[in-house]
Structure 1
């Protein structure tokens, strides 16, 4: 488990999710390759990094310099081809070789706080090979932690090349927990005093990961009128309300003990990679405030003019599964299974335009896709478009 320095609480602010790219396989004129960010207070975490992600960041409210962690779901190109240029941009990269050992571009302090990158086997090798063979120099360090599946080699870097000069030696190979008490998950691969990240394999055509971000418990809602009479009677400073708000017990001068409201669960955000069956992550994802689930293919007769006459709902689903993907109905079923509060559909085929905010035909198509998910799930459903931004607000009735 990686533990950072103390983070300021974020429960008084929304966690913001910004979709930088919502396409599958091929980008279109209205959808970029896969990437999304979580903005957590002043920091940003990136999930996947398809081609041209840094261009999308420049169009958004996300600040490049705020990206401190990157989580890769799988190593298909549409989810990772933008990673190296983004690293170069974030870590003061420079091109070209340097001969002098004293050149300042070669002097990277590996003890500085690194950019942390998480992903399946091959993530470290891809980054190392790409940086070395493109002669890319970085001015700040990075570290790669790999989530190793049971069939993976549990040691080594999956490449013969030595570490890049900016690569921290503290990268971990994290084995999947397979004991009786914790079957098939990577729990708390990152944790601090406010946030933690766990993960589990999900089924795709290649090894793929679903990530679950958990906020630590937050103060309960306090009713001041419950405490003020006793506080005033004992002439206790009103500042004691801050301790009560945190759920503490406070003993007053006359022996009266006041108990603060119980703390409530924080927010839970589930970000899935490509999948035709995410059930292995279900136990971690239970009760999610927000689920991001792919919906690559849909059967939309009478709505999508490109619908094949020979297709049926069953044939489209069968074809999606054969390619490792899901339909909106499959996403809706999983949202129902984990009792999610909100579902956002993502990772759409290039045939589905992403300008439904201004294009009437696109609006009808995306409404049709949303309705298909709603047939299986009775909570709110949104269809992601590039640069769409959604706040995850702490609910009073958070489960």
Structure 2
């Protein structure tokens, strides 16, 4: 099953000619989840041939324009193209009020059901669940209510070793084995031992999206050993005081968090428009955590089992 991230934007508050505002699409199986929706996100979806009508849920980290100004245009286009599938929108307090006011004065009555889910950005809690994944909030420290998101695959079934399976097993019994249970006979004795006919399940993958925030070590337990961590890196470390003042992070701080959390890979983004060349930010992060990449527009990052 696919588990991959498409980067649509990597710029901070001010966009630049080559960098759009923050937006990412996470594809898990046949489900598409949009994370943040800065200005121009719809055009980026079209540019990179992402079928926006397949997006089932949208997660907004906070109410600064570079993270949600693209929402009204995207939702309006979904309506104009006669979308009928329901859409869930997760975001901080106030998002529903802002959009509802826009809908009111544009006399927009959607062709699909839009459901708002207001988030408490101060806590780590589960906000979403489907057949394959769960999503939890990650409390950030920013100038407004802000949270990140942790996407984690549910535990997968064990693998059956066909050559070791007795031929008398029924489909329900095979399902029990995949779920880790032994097969018992009528008297309650073990008939088929799970450990004898199965192997460990595939790895359950994880992605943590850390939006705008000061350096914040108290989220370490939540992102511990995730497969892929995205963390904002607005400034180089020689501007750490500026980062602290504006409630942002530096490339070195993002890498330090990745190192302490023992994550597998780090993506840095949300770059200040002052940096025309992003190489120094990448080099600074790699000094601390080598397996670091830039979150560049159009880049697709796959996470393997």
What TM-score, normalized by structure 2, do the two folds share? 0.88
Task: Report the equivalent of 1:324.
Answer: 247
Task: Report the equivalent of 2:144.
Answer: 206
Correspondent of 1:343 among 266, 270, 285? 266
Correspondent of 1:384 among 282, 289, 295? 295
- 1:117, 1:143 within 8 Å by CA — same for their partners in 2? yes
Task: Report the equivalent of 2:133.
Answer: 195
1:213–1:333 distance in 2 versus 1, CA, 3 Å: same
What secondary structure sits across from 2:135 in the alignment?
A: strand
Within 5 Å, give how 1:113-152 maps onto structure 2: 114-148=86-120
What secondary structure sits across from 1:137 in the alignment?
A: coil
Asked if 1:370 is matched to 2:282, the reply is yes
Correspondent of 1:35 among 5, 23, 27? 23
Per the TM alignment, residue 242 of structure 1 is displaced from its structure 2 partner at its CA by 6.4
Q: Deviations over 1:87-109 (max 9, x none)?
A: 11123379xxxxxxxxxxxxx9x
- 2:158, 2:177 within 8 Å by CA — same for their partners in 1? no
Q: Deviations over 1:150-184 (max 9, x none)?
A: xxxxxxxxxxxxxxxxxxxxxxxxxx5xxxxxxx3
Root-mean-square deviation (CA), in Å?
Answer: 2.6
Higher CA-based Rg = 1
Correspondent of 2:36 among 45, 48, 63? 48
Name structure 1 gaps, 5 residues minimum: 1-12, 95-107, 150-175, 177-183, 300-312, 354-361, 395-399
What secondary structure sits across from 1:48 in the alignment?
A: strand
* CA distance in structure 2 between the aligned counterparts of 1:220 and 1:351, rounded to whole angstroms: 50
* CA distance in structure 2 between the aligned counterparts of 1:127 and 1:278, rounded to whole angstroms: 30
- 1:32, 1:52 within 8 Å by CA — same for their partners in 2? yes
1:321–1:263 distance in 2 versus 1, CA, 3 Å: same
- 1:216, 1:265 within 8 Å by CA — same for their partners in 2? no
Asked if 1:17 is matched to 2:5, the reply is yes
How many residues are matched?
A: 299
* Residue range with higher mean Cα deviation, 61-70 or 254-263: 254-263
Asked if 1:250 is matched to 2:183, the reply is yes
Per the TM alignment, residue 292 of structure 1 is displaced from its structure 2 partner at its CA by 0.5
